[in-house]
Amino acid sequence: MDPERLERTIRFANQLARKDCPLPLLRRGDGGTQYSDLTESVEYLLLESHRRRKLILPELRAFNNQSIGVFSDYSGEGRGRYAVYSVLVCGFNMRTSFEQHAREARARVGLGDKEIAYKDLRMGQMRRALPDFLAAADELPGFLCTVAVDKRIRSVFGSEKDTPEKLVAVLEEAGLGRRKPAVAEKLLRVVHLAAYLTALLGEEGQKVFWMTDHDEICPTSEEHRKLLEIFARVLPLYQKQGAQFGQMGGAVPFPARSVEMNDLLSLADLAAGAICDYLSKRDSTQPDDIRVKAGVDSVMLWLARAGIGLKKFCCLLRKREDQVIERATVEFTPISSQTGIFIPIYD
């Protein structure tokens, strides 16, 4: 890269990096506000990363961005030790470059409008598109947060055995639908994580659009409407007192395929699937012997690097033998050196 272009890139990267760290976000001593183990742990680990000067958050107020896009997907419903939740929060009005380069990545391998999904990485065309697709994603101003929760942790909202059943009652009494205990627990984990990250990275007055994958937390349009209502009620728990976002809306993947929206959702899907696969194998396999399926290596390398626009963060909660919940940041480092460009982010 010639010096002039490098200088422009450094300037651009610094415009997209937030310099006034908004942490801590959770309010203390304000009359009894209690937060879940999930958001408490995420904030604790973000603060630890910030203290080590390793945390870079995106500046989603840059270039007069007026809207926040939230895209969430999940993994771990089948076998494996962890349930994994991945949430992308991005500058919704700053996605043009990603969309253009994602289209080009698709066209180069003839992928067409096929959804890029973790479950379909066996497709040769998809694997060939993946490196360029993920490189395009690194230009998107945003934050991709992936949290793995040990399945032995029945609830992150209380230590009592019947906590998920109590969540069912709370939702039903509030007129927000009746769900099975495990579904109520998952729904509220997703809502609280999405709300925390939206409040952390968004700005008062910005519009919020949340797209989540089709699954048991919103199988019908009516259940999806209630999910958005729950999100609207939970969000103020994390916002600065008196602060308000602008118009709020949401969707599940559109019946008429929207490649651009699905590509954003795919970033959360790929991260959740890859992390779930890796962590499940790590618990039963020596590190040097872990083998992931084809295509996951590209995702893992992508998760190991920070993009000019897109930053990534991964952490886990697991239960020890003494039943104590421990939390840790998960960081990936390539075995071999990768060709890349060092971009300084100034204080």
Q: How far apart are CA 237 and CA 301, in angstroms?
A: 35
pLDDT of residue 251: 86
Helix (H, G, I), strand (E, B) or coil at 113: coil
Q: Which residues pair with 145 in a beta bridge?
A: 87, 313
At residue 341, the 3 state secondary structure works out as coil
pLDDT at 32: 56
| Paired residues of 251 in beta bridges | 211
Residue 206: how many other CB atoms lie within 10 Å: 21
Q: Which CATH superfamily is domain 37-329 in?
A: Ribonuclease H-like superfamily/Ribonuclease H (3.30.420.10)
Query: Looking at residue 135, what is its pLDDT?
Result: 96
In angstroms, the Cα distances linking 252 to 126, 182, 217, 225 are 23, 21, 11, 10
Digitized pLDDT (tens) for each residue of the chain, 347 residues in all: 788 999 999 999 999 999 999 999 998 765 556 899 999 999 999 999 999 999 999 999 999 999 999 999 999 987 788 999 999 999 999 999 999 999 999 999 999 999 999 999 999 999 999 999 999 999 999 999 999 999 999 999 998 999 999 999 999 999 999 999 999 999 999 999 999 999 999 999 999 999 998 789 998 899 999 999 999 999 999 998 778 898 999 988 766 568 999 999 999 999 999 999 888 888 777 766 677 777 888 999 999 999 999 999 999 999 988 888 899 999 988 876 555 678 888 88
**What are the sequence ranges of the domains in the chain?**
37-329
CA distances (Å), 56 to each of 136, 142, 147, 236, 296, in order? 19, 10, 17, 24, 24
The alpha-helical segments, DSSP class H, found in 240-284 are: 259-282
Q: What is the rounded distance in angstroms from the CA atom of residue 36 to the CA atom of residue 297? A: 33
User: Residue 227's pLDDT is what?
Assistant: 95
**Enclosing H/E stretch for 144:** strand 142-150
Q: How far, in Å, CA of 216 to CA of 41, rounded?
A: 25
Both structure tokens of 168? 């069912």
Cα distance between residue 214 and residue 29, in whole Å: 38
